[in-house]
C-alpha cells in the first residue's frame, strides 16, 4: 500500500492530531517511514506507539486522547474523570480514571503515571462521547463514583446537576441515592443540599 498523507491526517484529525503505529500502517506508513518523518520533524512521538502531527492545532482533551490511544482504543474514561468531562462537578481529579474491558486485566503493560485503571465490560448504553474521547454515561458515572466512595458532597452535587439539566430522573439511580443516604441520613432527602 502506498503511503497517503491525507489518509493519515484524516485519522489523526479524529484524535486531536494523534495516531498510533497501527493506524499509520492503515494509511500505508511503515515503521521506517514513520522514523523518517520523526527525523524530519513532521511528526513527534508522544508515547510508545502514539504519535502527533506536529503542526496540528492543540485540542482541549489532548492528554486524554493520548491515553485512549495508548489503551488500544478500548478504554472509557470513568469515575471522577467522567464527572469532569460531563461538567457535573467542580472536582479536579488528581488522577485520571479509565475503565478497560475485563479481558485486558491480565495484560502486562506499563501504566502511565497518574492513570487509575478499573476493569469492567461496559454495555454500549453505558458509554457516550465527549469530544474525541469515550466516557461513561452520566448514570454509570454516578454509580461508579458511589461504588468507589468518592466524597459524598461531590456525588450529591453531580447528581443534583444531572437532574437539574434533565440528564436523568431523580429516581434513576437508586445506588446513588442509597450511598448518599448513608452520609446525609434518611431523615432528609439524601440529595438535599446542606
* Domain assignments of the chain as residue spans, ordered by start: 5-53, 71-184
Dist. CA 2–CA 29, nearest whole Å:
8
Which of 25, 33, 28, 20 has the alpha carbon at shortest distance from 72?
A: 20
pLDDT in tens, the chain (194 residues): 899 999 999 999 999 999 999 999 999 999 999 999 999 999 999 999 999 999 999 999 999 999 999 999 999 999 999 999 999 988 788 899 999 999 998 887 789 999 999 999 999 999 999 999 999 999 999 999 999 999 999 999 999 999 999 999 989 999 999 999 998 876 444 445 43
Dist. CA 87–CA 180, nearest whole Å:
20
Dist. CA 24–CA 154, nearest whole Å:
41
Q: What's the residue count for the chain?
A: 194
Residue 1 to residues 18, 25, 26, 35, Cα–Cα distance (Å) = 21, 9, 9, 18
Whole-model pTM: value is 0.89
Task: Decide: residue 179, CB within 10 A, 0-12 exposed, 13-18 middle, 19+ buried.
Answer: buried
Residue 32: partners with Cβ closer than 8 Å, 6 or more residues away: none
Amino acid at each position: 500500500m502506498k503511503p497517503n498523507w491525507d489518509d493519515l491526517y484524516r485519522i489523526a484529525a479524529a484524535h486531536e492530531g494523534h495516531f498510533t503505529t497501527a493506524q499509520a500502517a492503515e494509511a500505508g506508513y511503515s515503521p521506517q517511514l514513520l522514523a523518517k518523518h520523526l527525523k524530519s520533524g513532521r511528526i513527534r512521538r508522544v508515547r510508545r506507539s502514539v504519535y502527533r502531527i506536529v503542526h496540528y492545532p492543540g485540542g482541549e482533551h489532548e492528554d486524554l486522547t493520548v491515553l485512549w490511544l495508548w489503551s488500544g482504543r478500548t478504554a472509557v474514561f470513568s469515575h471522577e474523570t467522567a464527572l469532569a468531562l460531563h461538567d457535573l462537578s467542580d472536582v479536579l481529579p488528581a488522577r485520571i480514571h479509565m475503565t478497560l474491558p475485563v479481558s485486558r486485566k491480565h495484560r502486562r503493560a506499563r501504566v502511565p503515571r497518574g492513570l487509575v485503571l478499573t476493569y469492567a465490560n461496559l454495555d454500549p448504553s453505558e458509554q457516550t462521547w465527549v469530544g474525541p474521547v469515550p466516557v461513561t454515561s452520566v448514570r454509570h458515572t454516578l454509580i461508579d463514583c458511589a461504588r468507589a466512595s468518592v466524597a459524598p458532597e461531590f456525588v450529591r452535587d453531580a447528581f443534583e446537576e444531572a437532574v437539574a439539566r434533565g440528564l436523568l430522573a431523580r429516581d434513576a439511580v437508586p445506588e446513588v441515592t442509597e450511598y448518599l443516604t448513608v452520609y446525609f441520613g434518611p431523615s432528609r432527602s439524601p440529595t438535599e443540599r446542606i
